[in-house]
Amino acid sequence: MSDLSVTVRMFGVLCTLRKERDEPTTVQIDVPAQGIPASQIADQLGLPDELIEGVFCNHTVYGMGHIIHPGDRVAFVPYGTPGPHRFALGLYDAGRGKRDE
């Protein structure tokens, strides 16, 4: 693991998709020192945009435009999280693009 790495996890159908491809569901990848959008990491990992509702970064949920920096802990969350949990976790706003900071 380098100083420019991030830990990335996949949940739900994203996890299943990776398993079906015989790919790990938790990975370490290097990112540029200035960071990159979560959407670019998802593309690198072959995760379909239409399945991702939000990205957890360091225990906070964001939209896919959020910039991921070295050392961050990241998890991609698919659509399908049960109702009240979507609001409590912030997935509702992230999925609608309101939390792209």
Range 82-86 average pLDDT: 52
Structure confidence by residue, pLDDT tens digits, 10-45: 988 898 999 999 999 999 999 999 999 999 999 999
Q: Which of the four pLDDT bands, split at 50, 70 and 90, describes residue 91?
A: low
Whether 101 is in a domain gets the answer no
Tokens describing residue 11:
């949940």
Whether 32 is in a domain gets the answer yes
- Number of domains the chain is built from: 1
Answer with the residue of higher pLDDT: 100 or 10. Answer: 10
Give the mean pLDDT of the chain. 83
CATH number at residue 23: 3.10.20.30
Whether 44 is in a domain gets the answer yes
Instruction: Give percent of the chain with pLDDT exceeding 90.
Output: 52
Whether 57 is in a domain gets the answer yes
Whether 100 is in a domain gets the answer no
